[in-house]
Structure 1
Amino acid sequence: MYAQLFLILLLGCTPVSEKMGLSEVQEFIRKGSSQAVPITSVLSQEMIAKIDSLLLGKLTLDAAVQIALLNNPSIQVIYKDLDIAYADVIQAGMLENPTLNATVLYSEEGTGQHTEFSIEQNVLDILLLPLRKKLAREEYNQVKLQVGDAVLEIINETKTAFFILQANQQLTALQKDVLRAAEAAEELAARQFEAGNINTLDLASHQVALHDAKLEWMRNEAELFSNQENLHRLMGLTGANPKLNIEADLSKLPLSDPDLSDVIRTALAQRLDLAAARQELVIFKKALFLARTEAVPDISGSMVKESSPDENPHVGPGIELDIPLFDRGQANVARLKAQLSQSKKQIEVLKQDIRSEIRIIHNQMDTKRKAVEYYRDIIIPVHEDVVQASQLEYNFMLLGAYTLLQVKQDEINARRNYILTLRDYWILRTELERAVGAGLINI
């Protein structure tokens, strides 16, 4: 008996491991994002060197996510939740400290002193120790799921920021072409105005178009800077960082998108927030059982030694028992019953929300895919044909320069809309991955 109690105390003094739970979280992230990156709360020199090497080359989407997983300070903060939860597990496995009482009484006649020593331990605390440890472990498992879900959210933000930056780089380049065309039109209009071929109104309209193009290009440059900063932040890059050398163009459409029914089925099996909600239900069940057990009155056992000068020492056991006249723990039990019922309903609500969220995102993504294909296969080729035909007519002096410039402007606008639509598709695909809780490649 004493050996078993000593073993419990010894296990309760096990130091908290900083790496506890990280391997499980890493597996959650691998399933949710297809990223197998070592997870640690402290960067090694090897990891720092890896980040530097990824930044030196052409930065891909996967590389940006890897850097964020290794270097994002918010992720480092999130990982500390594991240490906090594991410390609670350790605390739950510890017995209450025994109480030592000592009393010394002196007689008024000065004939001697009466002493009494006792050591007291809560017996019910020992009996409930296994239940408390099980409850703490279930709470720890829930924290692991919540940490994994929070990390997946940062991955989603990083991917979205990458796509936005990538698209805006392309849009800024297109706007530069628009600016060149506006400059050419304004320069031509100025020469024609000097020759008396156009009036002041025509010249002013071309000047306004040039000013608008300059302002739009300036807005694009400012937005590009904001996009760079946002991606820097998500990757944990500090200071005045140089311009990121990311892949120039958005990726083309994948061959196909996953089926809606497969996506919903995978989400209900893989979503970490849903798993955490189910884990909360387990926690409330165990907490309710523990609360009912704790309704038993506190029992404390003690060993007492009493001695006085005129008597032989007396040694014997003692017991203290709470009398549950008023507080029998009924309020705590009622609260946990309500929380248990609430948790069951929340799971059903979350499942319904997941289905609805996925249907909406899947529909939007399908619409964007069709729009991208329409721009790619119909609209842009038509504009290219119009530009080519207009160039031929211009060469034979059958078409004016302003008309040719406008035709080229229309083609640039079509390409701009194509880039924006393709960007929106990839952002929606990223949101769908987040809503599913798993990569879409294997669905």
Structure 2
Amino acid sequence: MQGIIRLAALAAATALAGCASFSPDGGMGVVADITTRTTAKEVASVRSDDDAERVRAATRRLLARPLSADAAVQVALFNNKGLQADYHQLALSDADRVGASLPPNPTLSLMRISGDGALEAERQVAGDILALATLPLRSGIARERFHQAQLRAALATLRLAADVRRAQVRAVAANELVVLLVEAQSAAEATARLATRLGETGALNRLDQAREQVFYAETTAELAGARRMASSARERLIRLMGLWGDDLGFRLPERLPALPRRPLTQPFVETDAVGHRIDLQIARLELSALATSLQLTEATRFVTLLDLAGIDRKTIEPDGRVIRERGFDVQFQIPIFDGGEVRVRQEAETYNIAFNRLTERAVTVRSEARDAYRSYRAAYDIAGHYGREVLPLRQIISEEMQLRYSSMQVDIFALLLETRQRLASRRAAIDAKRDYFLAEAELSTAVNGGGGTTGEDTARQTASALAPSND
């Protein structure tokens, strides 16, 4: 009878073990779905030489053309090694899931003692009956933990995509500013030379000469600073894309893209954010995992004090007689001081912590979404105002000043002053367009996640609070 029970237990364990297997894609399916839906980009976990060659060929094709923001994001998703480390971390979580879903291995202990003509052979088979009984609950927790790891990998992907998009926008805008300041420096240099010549003839006093020369000097210094900023912006983009060597010669567009004809309309931006934010999804899964863990703790608050082992022992006496002993060995900790209430209270309070953090994060997400959309609309209106009103009016003024200068109605200094004002308006227009594309990126991340560290930090704090104790 005892053998039948043992065989049944082993059969059940074998059946449960057969249900646990590694994911065929290392968990990348969820990451790919979220990334494609949010950014329309492809992700790749590089695990072989063939994968590396495919990614390399795709990168070369993307770098052969001026690198748009979308192309830069795709290059980064293929080449950023930090992101690849996150994908391997996901595969490691898959292995942890399988390990947590397997029943405990039985322990076989063999002992042979001889001396004074006595010989004893002892065979003891011990199985963790408690772990086997609670395996379904533990497997459910392991699956939820793995899904959280998938969402964290997706969150890292979206964060990288957002950072790359912002870096590309800043790099292109910085290059535009350099070109504009080169033009401004050229005009300032011509003005300074003219002022010097007029000063030599006595037609211009020293104060006006100094004003023109200091403008040239300040513009030169500003151009040097703009070139430094453009170089730094390009290097940051390079780091995020994971490029080096021959790939550093890629070209950026000469200017930022044109504004869309119509701004995005998102009347339900709060609802979209609460439904789509990955950090909130992670926190929800943490709360669900903790609820399961609390059930497990309540169910095993006394049983975990039990250690049961089956014994099958054979002893050979000196006279040759064989004595066989069968039975079981039970060790039970008497719950005088702690009957499990401490663990149950710890799990309950941890659940309350996670619930309140999740609620707090949901309120924050709603506010972030509203703020991001208002900033987006304001940036669109400001950039559009420069494009529709300010720059066309500045062009009209410039053309009229040229006509008046040609007819000798204004002098050269009035014309140069107008040129400075037009350059200042163009610079403000570049900044406004840059701010629009940055606001667009921020709106996307406010709705989908990945835009900053606040949400992920909250999720990690929750994960830490919910992590099962090793005690």
Q: Same fold (TM over 0.5)?
A: yes
Query: Does 1:307 pair with 2:315?
Result: yes
Contact 2:279 2:449 in 1 (8 A): no
Q: Which residue of 2 aligns with 1:316?
A: 326
Query: Does 1:253 pair with 2:262?
Result: no
Contact 1:41 1:79 in 2 (8 A): no
Contact 2:158 2:449 in 1 (8 A): no
What is the CA–CA distance in structure 2 between the aligned matches of 1:102 and 1:235, rounded to whole Å?
58
What is the CA–CA distance in structure 1 between the aligned matches of 2:247 and 2:216, rounded to whole Å?
33
Q: Which residue of 2 aligns with 1:153?
A: 159
Q: 1:92 aligns with which of 92, 100, 104?
A: 100
User: SS state of the match for residue 355, structure 1?
Assistant: helix
- How far 1:357 sits from its partner (Å)? 0.7
Query: Does 1:399 pair with 2:423?
Result: no
Q: Percent identity?
A: 26
Contact 1:368 1:421 in 2 (8 A): yes
Cα distance change of structure 1 residues 403 and 243 upon mapping to structure 2, 3 Å threshold: farther
Moved more, 240-249 or 291-300: 240-249
Contact 1:181 1:405 in 2 (8 A): yes
The letter of the residue matching 1:133 is: S
Q: Which residue of 2 aligns with 1:24?
A: 30
Q: Which residue of 1 aligns with 2:465?
A: none
- How far 1:17 sits from its partner (Å)? 5.8
Matches within 5 A, 1:37-436: 37-40=43-46, 43-102=51-110, 110=116, 112-239=118-245, 242-295=248-301, 296=303, 297-309=305-317, 310=319, 311-325=321-335, 326-436=337-447
What is the CA–CA distance in structure 2 between the aligned matches of 1:6 and 1:373, rounded to whole Å?
67
Cα distance change of structure 1 residues 122 and 198 upon mapping to structure 2, 3 Å threshold: same
What is the CA–CA distance in structure 2 between the aligned matches of 1:364 and 1:179, rounded to whole Å?
33
Contact 1:394 1:404 in 2 (8 A): yes
Aligned-pair RMSD on alpha carbons? Answer: 2.2
The letter of the residue matching 2:35 is: I
- How far 1:115 sits from its partner (Å)? 4.2
Contact 1:193 1:203 in 2 (8 A): yes
- How far 1:105 sits from its partner (Å)? 6.1
The letter of the residue matching 1:427 is: L
User: SS state of the match for residue 168, structure 1?
Assistant: helix
Contact 2:269 2:370 in 1 (8 A): no
Moved more, 369-378 or 269-278: 369-378
Cα distance change of structure 1 residues 149 and 242 upon mapping to structure 2, 3 Å threshold: closer
What is the CA–CA distance in structure 2 between the aligned matches of 1:24 and 1:230, rounded to whole Å?
29
Equivalent residue pairs, number: 435
The letter of the residue matching 1:342 is: I
The letter of the residue matching 1:158 is: V
What is the CA–CA distance in structure 2 between the aligned matches of 1:241 and 1:212, rounded to whole Å?
35
- How far 1:210 sits from its partner (Å)? 1.0
What is the CA–CA distance in structure 1 between the aligned matches of 2:314 and 2:377, rounded to whole Å?
85
The letter of the residue matching 1:88 is: D
- Name stretches of at least 5 consecutive residues in structure 2 with no aligned partner: 1-7, 451-471
The letter of the residue matching 1:31 is: R
Moved more, 241-250 or 420-429: 241-250
The letter of the residue matching 2:255 is: D
- How far 1:117 sits from its partner (Å)? 3.0
User: SS state of the match for residue 261, structure 1?
Assistant: coil
Contact 2:42 2:77 in 1 (8 A): no
Contact 1:18 1:83 in 2 (8 A): no
Cα distance change of structure 1 residues 170 and 114 upon mapping to structure 2, 3 Å threshold: closer
The letter of the residue matching 1:281 is: L
- Name stretches of at least 5 consecutive residues in structure 1 with no aligned partner: none
- How far 1:238 sits from its partner (Å)? 1.9
Q: Which residue of 1 aligns with 2:463?
A: none
The TM-score, its normalising length taken from structure 1, stands at: 0.92
What is the CA–CA distance in structure 1 between the aligned matches of 2:63 and 2:38, rounded to whole Å?
24
What is the CA–CA distance in structure 1 between the aligned matches of 2:30 and 2:248, rounded to whole Å?
36
Moved more, 288-297 or 220-229: 288-297
Cα distance change of structure 1 residues 57 and 39 upon mapping to structure 2, 3 Å threshold: same
What is the CA–CA distance in structure 1 between the aligned matches of 2:202 and 2:95, rounded to whole Å?
85
The TM-score, its normalising length taken from structure 2, stands at: 0.87
- How far 1:426 sits from its partner (Å)? 0.8
- How far 1:203 sits from its partner (Å)? 2.1
What is the CA–CA distance in structure 2 between the aligned matches of 1:111 and 1:291, rounded to whole Å?
51
User: SS state of the match for residue 24, structure 1?
Assistant: helix
